[in-house]
Structure 1
Amino acid sequence: MIRALHRWPGLLALALVTLLAVSGAALSVFPAAERLAAPQADEDMSVADLATRIQSAYPGVEQIKRSPSGRITAYWFDGGAPGSAVIDPATGTGVASADPNPFERWLTNLHRSLFLDDSGRLLMAAGAVAMLVLAVSGFLLVARRVGGWRRWLAPLRGPLAARVHVELARGAVLGLLLSSATALWMTASTFGFLPDQGAPPELPSAVSGRAGALLASMPLLTATPVSALRELSFPYPEDATDVFTLKTDDGVGCIDQGTGATLGWSGLSGWERVSETVYMLHTGQGASLLGLLLGLTALAVPAMGATGLFIWLAGRARRPRIRGNAAPGRAETIILVGSEGGSSWGFAATLHAALTRAGQRVHAAPMSGFDPARFSGARRYLVLAATYGDGGAPASAKGFLDRLARLSAVPDAPLAVLGFGDRSFPAFCAYARSVAAAAESKGWRLLLPFETVDRQSPQEFARWGRALGEALGTALELDHQPVRPETSALTLVSRRDYGHDVQAPTAILRFALPRLSVWQRLTGQGFARFEAGDLLGIVPEGSPILRFYSLASGRRDGFVEIVVRRHVGGICSSALTTLEPGGTVAAFIRRNPGFHAARDRTPLILIGAGTGIGPLAGFIRANGSRRPIHLFFGMRHPDSDFLYREELQGWAAGGRLRHLSTAVSRGARPHYVQDALVADQLEVVRAIRKGARVMVCGGRQMAAGVAEAMTRMLEPLGLSPEVLKAEGRYVEDVY
């Protein structure tokens, strides 16, 4: 909901909001320039002194005005001809023209009304509403992304466009909130919706009817400093009953021109004071530095608009175009898709085409847009859901479970849920399972039992399609052709071999970075942005199944590095472990943000065995801040498969690694990495008490043994791996 509130005002009002922001930023310069150029009055100068000097220079003076910048302007008649000038308060004479800057006036009219009078004011007010909605929703989205407003300045991860968008938002959101809210207040005041008019001073019934009192003899003028002056109006020369009118920061007063006595005074109302404060905050008049700061924040709007548009277009590009997508209210079959990288949308397109050929009206939509009221003609729901990280919702499924929980009654149309994942990961299809379980607990009737597709298998998808066809009473063949990701050729530059003596051939492979286009560098696509813990996807020659390896390096390291163990019958691992320097492989990057080491000073407890050392070594290599890191590493034998031995020694000497504990499973005293944990229990518990984060990488059995040992160690503290996982302090990359 919040994301939609942020997206659509931004897209629909992008040009208008940008125009408001840019013109407002340009206008913010004028108050500061006026402040610098205008001669300033002495602090102890009174209005009486100033008026006397000006009257001596211009006997026909009718009005004196002082702007919030301190600029003093006088208006007079001389021989029937009007005149005006910017006044030097030290002499009372003019030093510059009082004519308004024509460009400033043009820009002001553009900013306020687009030269369309009241209609334009209303249009620009709509732009201010859009900016206010964008600022509020943006504030909430940034807070959600960084983990709460208390972590407002936390380091960011993600594509370049997204990081630029959020960085600009973090710096500009408060200024945009202030600018948009004050703009709406001023519009309401302009159209008379606010009671901001103060009452004029009440005059006594009798005025002296005389003239000629000296300005210096008027108590109100002598007691008022020039710094508080706003406007002094002189009486009409031929009308002895007219009075001086003085407007100050505190109110309005009237003075008898014959006696110099104060005839009446009216203080500013509360609404007037608020409105003047709002005017000052919005225009910078009287607070030029604040105006410049707000102008700078406004300049972030075009950049945020461009990056926001790019993020939206990139998101749409990841979703394949589905031809013949029926209107939501007319569709018989609703396909809801939960996808992170876009592959599930490809399966949805195949299913959509097959059902359409079978004569059905089908509508495909993201799970995040689930709303039974929109799908009034639905006769069945088909959910295709991937899983993000350790059982989380993928990008296009955010909020689905919350929406389902809030339903007072589930749809009458039955439901089928199909999960997509990789069976080698412990959280295989965990999110899809949670969707199926939540639907069943709400009493939603199932069209088919819950099923899964492992590693995007076209065969398993086709088998599920046949079962769906039987349930629908029609033959349904789902011939899905997976769209291969765009790859780059990686050239091997070096390799180090281990493990032959313990029958576990393993290699550390280092590849050169591929050449990047300017567009990739700007957008952070592909190999332009990655870090240790992300995944390197390998497309094996002659095999339809992709293979993924955890990266042991980041973009800043200047190379791509993985650790690979050869498996019996493994096409990809065999090809990689026999690859010689100069050879190439087709590869791509898949982000894995759930297994990144945050760039902060929080202690890390890294636990891995065998090739699981890969990303952990990458975290240590990138530890330029020397945060406390304790590595627990399990191997078969130190003489055969002590991966990264030399680097670990160097990192320890350089302060990047605080402690190293090893476990050897083959030798005189075999023990495993969980045994090493128990041996250093006091150190581990002490670090967790200080807020340490635990990161586990390696085989499934190893991870289970570590979790069991950690459960026993943490129990006296009232903690457990599950509690730490909920806090984001215990993460696993398990295969």
Structure 2
Amino acid sequence: MIRAIHRWPGIAAALLLVVLALSGATLSLYPVAERLAAPRAEAGLSVADLAARIAASHPGLEQIRRAPSGQVTAYWFDGGTPRAAVIDPATGRDAGSADPDPLRRWLTNLHRSLFLGDAGRIAAALGAAAMLVLALSGAALVARRTGGWRRWFARLRGPLAGRLHVEIARIAVAGLLLSSATALWMTASTFELLPDEGGTPAFPAGVSGRTGMDLGAMAALKELPAAELRSLSLADPGDPTDAHTLRTARGTGYLDQGSGELLAWADLSGWGRLSETIFMLHTGQGAAVWGFLLGLMALGVPAMAGTGLALWLSARRARPRIRGSAPPGRAETVLLVGSEGGSTWGFAATLHAALTETGQRVHVAPMAGFDPARYPRALRFIILAATYGEGCAPASAKGFLDRLARLDRAPEAPLAVLGFGDRSFPAFCAYAKEVAAATAAKGWPQLLAFATIDRQSPQEFARWGRALGAALGIGLELLHQPVVPATEALTLVSRRDYGAEVQAPTAILRFSPPALTMWQRLMGRGFARWQAGDLLGVLPEGSPVPRFYSLASGSRDGFVEIVVRKQPGGLCSGQLAELRPGGTVGAFLRRNPGFRAGRGRAPLILIGAGTGIGPLAGFIRANARRRPVHLFFGLRHPDSDFLYREELAEWQASGRLSSLVTANSRGERPHHVQDALRLEAAAVARLIRKGARVMVCGGRGMAAGVGAALDEILAPAGLTPALLKAEGRYVEDIY
């Protein structure tokens, strides 16, 4: 909800806000320039001395004004012609023209009313209201993204456009909140929607009837410092019933032009002081430095408008548009989709088309926007959910379980949940299973039993479709063609082969990253940025289903590196095993934030076997800060498949790797990596008690053995791998 509140006012008012922000930022420079250019008055100068000097050099003087910047302006008549000039307080003589700058006048009219009079003022006020909503909702979103208000300036990750958007917002949001709120106040004051300020006394009746007293001799003006003057309007010397009008920072009064006596006085009301403060906060008049800072913050608006638009367009492209989707209020069947890479949306499109052909009204939406109240005519719900990382919600499903938990009761229309995943990963359909369990616990009636689809299998999807059709009493044939992921060509630049002697042919493959467009750099798309531990999706020839390999390098390394073992009958690994330098493969990146080394100083215990060394080697390579890193590596024979042998020795010598323990399953004294952990039990337990983080990468059999070994090692300390996982100190990337 907060995201929607933030998005739509920004899109609707983007151009108006940019115009108001740029004009306001430019206007903020004028108080600074005026402050720097204004002639300085000497310390202790009184209004009497100032007025006497100006009157002596300007016969026919009508008024003296002092701006908050300190600039003094005199207005007088010269032979019946009105004149005005900026005054040097030290001499009372002209120091410059008082004619308004045409550009400043143009910008002021643009900023206040868009050259449209009262209608333009209302439009500008609506823009200020939109900015207030954007600032408040944006602040809430920043706090949510960084983990709370206390972590406001926490380090950000993600695409460049998103990080720029938040970085600028974190600095500018306070100024934008103040600018928009004060703009609304000033508009309300302009249209007399606020109470009258008051603070002006009634004109006195008891004037002396005399005229002509020297301004420099008036006691009330002698006692008033020039720095407190706002304006002094002189009485008509030909009218003995008229009086001088004095305005200061404290209030307004009338002076007898013949005796200098203060005839009447009214202090500035509290409401008037508040209005003046708001005017100063919005314009910077009287606080030039603040006005300049406010102008800098205003420049964040066009920057955030650009990055926000880029993020919105990117999100729209990432969510396929399914033609013919029924309006939510008329839908009989509601398809809710949880997808990370977009493939699940393709299955949703196939299901939508098939159900629509049977005459049903079908609406398709992301799980993240789930709200039963939107679907008053729904007869059934179908959830198609992928799993991200180690059982996490995919991008378009985030928040679904929280929304479900807040419901008083589940919808009455029955539900079917279908999970999508890859059985080679331990967390196969884990998120979909969690959704199925949560909906059942909520009492949501079942249309079909929970089912799964492995590796985007069209055959399994078709079988599930027939079961769905039987439950609905219709014939339903789902003929799905998997959507081929968009890939980029990676060129192999080098390879190192290992393991042939132990019947485990393995290669370290290094590719050159593809050239990037400016859009990819800005949005963080494609191969703009990645880290060791992220996944490289490789699309083998003759298959629309990618295979994933953990990356052993980061984008700062300047190359894309993976470790691949040739599997018997493996389509992708077989093709990669035959690839030679100069050859290419189609590949894409998939982030894996759940398996990152992080930036802390806590020790790392890295445990891997075989090709699991890949991302662990990448973590060590990136350890420029010499964080304590301890590697346990399982291999078959040191003379055959000791991957990264030379690099590990070099990293250990340079301090990037603190210690290395290997376990050989063949040769002399064969043992596995979990056995090596037990041999180093005391050191491992000591590191974990000091806050070390454990990262495991490799086959699921190895991972199970490592978990059992750590269970034994940590038992005396009252710790378990499960407890470490709950604290985020034990993470796995297993297959």
TM-score, length-scaled by structure 1: 0.95
Identity of aligned residues (%): 70
Matches within 5 A, 1:219-298: 219-298=219-298
Equivalent residue runs for 1:701-712 within 5 Å: 701-711=701-711
Q: Which moved more, 1:210-219 or 1:578-587?
A: 210-219
| Secondary structure class of the residue paired with 1:641 | coil
CA distance in 2, matches of 1:182, 1:419: 51
2:733 matched to 1:733?
yes
Q: In the superposition, relative to structure 1, how do residues 624 and 107 fare at CA in structure 2: closer, same or farther (>3 Å)?
A: same
1:683 shift after superposition: 5.1
1:452 aligns to 2:452 (yes or no): yes
Shift of 1:682: 5.6
The alignment status of 1:88 with 2:88, answered yes or no, reads yes
Residues in 2 aligned to 1:541 and 1:698: alpha-carbon distance in whole angstroms: 26
Cα offset for 1:510?
0.8
1:550-595 Cα shifts (integer Å, max 9, x gaps): 1111222111110111222212112222322222222222222222
Q: Is the 8 Å Cα contact of residues 320 and 345 (structure 2) preserved in structure 1?
A: yes
CA contact (8 A) 1:196 1:269 kept: no
Inter-CA distance 217–396: structure 2 relative to 1 (3 Å threshold): same
Residue in structure 2 matched with residue 497 of structure 1 by the alignment: 497
1:476-517 deviations in Å (ceiling 9; x for gaps): 111111111122222222111222333322111111223334
| Amino acid paired to 1:629 | V
SS of equivalent residue, structure 2 residue 639: helix
Instruction: Specify the code of the residue in structure 2 equivalent to 1:328.
Output: P
Query: 2:135 corresponds to which residue?
Result: 135
Matched with 2:7 is: 7
1:660 CA drift (Å): 2.9
Q: Is the 8 A contact 1:169 1:304 kept in 2?
A: yes
Amino acid at match of 1:160: L
Question: Offset at 1:448?
Answer: 0.2
Task: Identify the residue that residue 179 of structure 2 maps to in structure 1.
Answer: 179
1:721 to 1:142, Cα distance in 2 relative to 1, 3 A:
farther
Paired position in structure 1 for 2:63: 63
- For 1:475, the equivalent position in structure 2 comes to 475
Stretches of structure 1 that go unaligned for 5 or more consecutive residues are: none
1:577-592 residue pairs with structure 2 within 5 A? 577-592=577-592
1:526 matched to 2:519? The reply is no
Query: 1:396 maps to what in 2?
Result: 396
Task: Give CA-to-partner distance per residue, 1:179-204, whole Å, 9 cap, x none.
Answer: 22221222222233333603324677
Deviates more, 1:121-130 or 1:673-682: 673-682
Q: Which amino acid aligns with 1:382?
A: I
Query: 1:356/1:663 Cα in 2 relative to 1: closer, same or farther (>3 Å)?
Result: same
2: distance between equivalents of 1:264 and 1:506?
97
* Structure 2 residue identity aligned to 1:120: G
Change (3 A) 1:423 1:493: same
Amino acid at match of 2:636: R
Greater alpha carbon shift after TM alignment, 40-49 vs 80-89 = 40-49
Alignment-derived partner of residue 51 in structure 2: 51
Residue 548 of structure 1 pairs with residue 548 of structure 2: yes
Deviation at 1:382, TM superposition (A): 0.5
Change (3 A) 1:514 1:690: same
Match of 1:153 in 2: 153
For the residue of structure 1 that corresponds to 2:330, the secondary structure is coil
Instruction: Give 1:627-642 correspondences, 5 Å limit.
Output: 627-642=627-642
Q: Does the 8 A contact of 1:65 with 1:72 survive in 2?
A: yes
* Distance (whole Å) between structure 1 residues aligned to residue 82 and residue 335 of structure 2: 76
CA contact (8 A) 1:43 1:225 kept: no
Aligned partner of 2:466 in structure 1 is 466
Q: Is the 8 A contact 2:410 2:444 kept in 1?
A: yes
Distance 2:174 2:155 in 1: 19
Distance 1:727 1:283, change over 3 A: farther
Relative to structure 1, the CA distance from residue 293 to residue 601 in structure 2 (aligned partners, 3 Å threshold; closer, same or farther) is farther
Q: Can you list the C-alpha shifts for 1:241-271, whole angstroms capped at 9, x where unaligned?
A: 3333322223223333333333343333322
Change (3 A) 1:519 1:200: closer
Matches of 1:683 and 1:278 in 2, distance apart? Answer: 64
Q: CA 1:666 to 1:153, structure 2 compared with 1: closer, same or farther past 3 Å? A: farther
SS in 2 for 1:634: strand
TM-score (norm 2): 0.95
In structure 2, C-alpha distance between the alignment counterparts of 1:660 and 1:118, rounded to whole Å? 75
Alpha-carbon displacement from aligned partner over 1:198-246 (angstroms, at most 9, x marks no partner): 3324677633333343333334322332222221222222233333332
Distance 2:352 2:499 in 1: 49
State the one-letter code of the partner of 1:350: T
Aligned counterparts, 1:270-349, within 5 A: 270-349=270-349
Higher deviation after alignment, 267-276 or 89-98: 267-276
Q: How much does 1:602 deviate? A: 4.8
Q: d(CA) in 1 for partners of 2:58 and 2:693?
A: 77
Q: Which runs of 5+ in 2 are unaligned?
A: none
**Secondary structure at the counterpart of residue 428 of structure 1:** coil
1:38 aligns with 2:71: no
Give the stretch that moved more between structures: 218-227 or 1-10: 218-227
What residue identity is the alignment partner of 1:81?
T
- Describe the SS at the equivalent of 2:486: coil
Contact 1:43 1:227 in 2 (8 A): no
Aligned-pair distance for 1:690? 5.5
Once residues 52 and 686 of structure 1 are traced to their aligned partners in structure 2, the CA distance between those partners, rounded to angstroms, is 85
SS of the aligned residue for 2:299 comes to: helix
Q: Is the 8 A contact 1:632 1:677 kept in 2?
A: yes
Match of 2:610 in 1: 610
CA–CA distance in structure 1, aligned partners of residues 195 and 712 of structure 2: 68
Relative to structure 1, is the Cα distance of residues 666 and 296 closer, same or farther in structure 2, using a 3 angstrom cutoff?
A: same
Asked if 1:557 corresponds to 2:557, the answer is: yes
1:234 aligned partner, one-letter code? L
Give SS of 1:258's match. coil
Can you list the C-alpha shifts for 1:444-491, whole angstroms capped at 9, x where unaligned?
100001111112111111111111011011111111111111222222
- Cα distance in 2, alignment partners of residues 233 and 678 from structure 1: 93
- CA RMSD of the aligned region, Å? 2.3
The farther-off stretch of 437-446 and 642-651 is 642-651
SS at match of 2:110: helix
Q: Deviations over 1:142-185 (max 9, x none)?
A: 22223333333333322232222222223322222222222122
Residue 697 (structure 1) aligns with: 697
Q: Which amino acid in the other structure matches residue 463 of structure 1?
A: R
Displacement after TM superposition at 1:140 (Å)? 2.0
Cα 1:654–1:143, aligned 2, differ >3 Å: closer, same or farther? Answer: farther
Task: Indicate the residue corresponding to 2:162 in structure 1.
Answer: 162
Residues 256 and 455 (structure 1), Cα distance of their counterparts in 2 relative to 1, 3 Å cut: same
Residues 1:501 and 1:130: Cα distance change in structure 2 (over 3 Å): same
For the 8 Å contact 1:164–1:307, the answer to whether it is kept is: yes
The whole-number CA distance in structure 1 between the counterparts of 2:299 and 2:524 is 23
1:334 and 1:364 in contact (8 A); partners too:
yes
Q: C-alpha separation between the residues in 2 aligned to 1:693 and 1:13? A: 47
Q: Match for 1:217: what amino acid?
A: A
The residue correspondences of 1:315-464 to structure 2 (distance < 5 A) are 315-464=315-464
Matches of 1:204 and 1:82, distance apart in 2 = 28
| Conserved 8 A contact 2:484-2:545 | no
Describe the superposition over 1:525-544 as per-residue Cα deviations: whole angstroms up to 9, x where unpaired.
22232221111111112234
In structure 2, relative to structure 1, the CA distance for the partners of 1:624 and 1:243 (3 Å cut) is farther
Cα distance, 1:293 vs structure 2: 2.0
1:77 alignment partner, SS class: strand
**Which whole-Å deviations, capped at 9, do the CAs of 1:16-75 have from their partners, x for residues lacking one?**
111221111121121112222221222322222211111111132221111122111111
Summarize the Cα distance change of 1:473–1:107 in structure 2 as closer, same or farther, 3 Å threshold.
same
Please list the CA deviations of residues 318-377 of structure 1 after superposition, one character each: whole Å capped at 9, or x if unmatched: 222212111111111110111112111111000000001111111111112212221111
